[in-house]
Amino acid sequence: MPNMNNGTMRELTYVEALREALTQKMRADDRVFLIGEDIGVYGGAFGVTAGMVEEFGEARVRDTPISEAGIAGACVGAAVAGMRPVGEIQFMDFVTISMEQLVLQAAKIRFMFGGKATVPMVLRMPGGAGTGAAAQHSESLENWFVHVPGLKVVMPSTPYDAKGLLLAAIDDDNPVIFVEHKLLYRTKGHVPEEMYTVPLSQTKVVRQGRDVTVVATSIMVPRALEAAETLAKEGIELEVIDPRTLSPLDDAPIVASVKKTGKALVVHEAVKTGGFGGEIVARIAESEAFDYLDAPVRRLAGLDIPIPYNRTLEYHTVPQVENIVDEARRLARGEF
């Protein structure tokens, strides 16, 4: 049962939910430790690990040199040796430096050793635009990892899911890429105080609707919900679905929803070409939902350009609430 304070549900920010998950897990399991750049005294680039070095010490909250390959490699080695490391990449863009360790090592070891070795590691990373951090600090690269068998990819959109999915990810015996959108860090939501897990690969219907299915990831989930409220005033009801775990994907709720509404819009921040939306469209096309479609499945995604530094240009580079409203309205009205 959720913890109640003065008759109201307990609320935490997304950052606080992540920190609570890490703190509770480290208290419960000595194998769990944190490793990354400036995560100790500084508390992490976005404050997720603030205060944790004071409780757990430098041996379990380990600051590293500026070497993403080193962070990922240390996680892989420690995981194979029986630990459960949680690494932090300061910005998702920098994970490019660690691709050999993740793609050729972490993702392959369990398979190549016939299950005799496991790699229970989590690599956390903040992605996405909206902070004016320009092209080298604002990317959404999640689909790179979806493409790699052996890696699990998680993108929580709420504080509740952030805590529950992070706890589940640490418990998992496979490497997990854990993507946190920077604009979600200060959002608030209901988070129980006790330890709980949200199962990996469990898609959630976050809003019921009858007219258009909207499959959204990460920051696009709250934007889709805001768009749904706007369109509800016009009599258009969106059903909003959050996959939460992109790989492995639980597509059954998506198929069921499209069968009900007959129309689907997929929304993500990453660039459209090669983005996760294409996988969702393919899953729908290959399923029994295809025969129920009343319109082509639409994708709304980031433009195929590097993220601009200019805040106005940045705003128009990735989908906003008004874009979701426009696309969903056209679908609902048959204007396609």
What CA–CA distance (Å, rounded) separates 299 from 267?
6
What CA–CA distance (Å, rounded) separates 240 from 18?
24
Q: Residue 152 pairs with which residues in a beta bridge?
A: 176
- What value does the CA radius of gyration of the chain take, rounded to a whole number of Å? 20
Tokens of 241: 């679905």
Backbone angles phi, psi at 62, to 5 degrees: -100, 115
Quote the distance between the C-alpha of residue 93 and its chain's center: 15
Evaluate the omega torsion of the peptide bond into residue 248 and state whether it is cis, within 30 degrees of 0: yes
Angle at 153 between CA 143 and CA 269, to 5 degrees: 45
Residues across the chain: 336
Tokens of 264: 């689907």
| List of residues 6+ apart from 215 with CB closer than 8 A | 241, 243, 254, 264, 265, 266, 267, 277, 280
Provide the angle, in degrees to the nearest 10, between the axes of the packed helices 14-28 and 159-171: 30
Give the position of tokens 């380990």.
62
190 is catalytic: no
What are the respective helix, strand and coil percentages of the chain, to the nearest 5? 40, 20, 40
Out of 137, 181, 190, 268, the active site residue is 137
Q: Which residues are catalytic?
A: 137
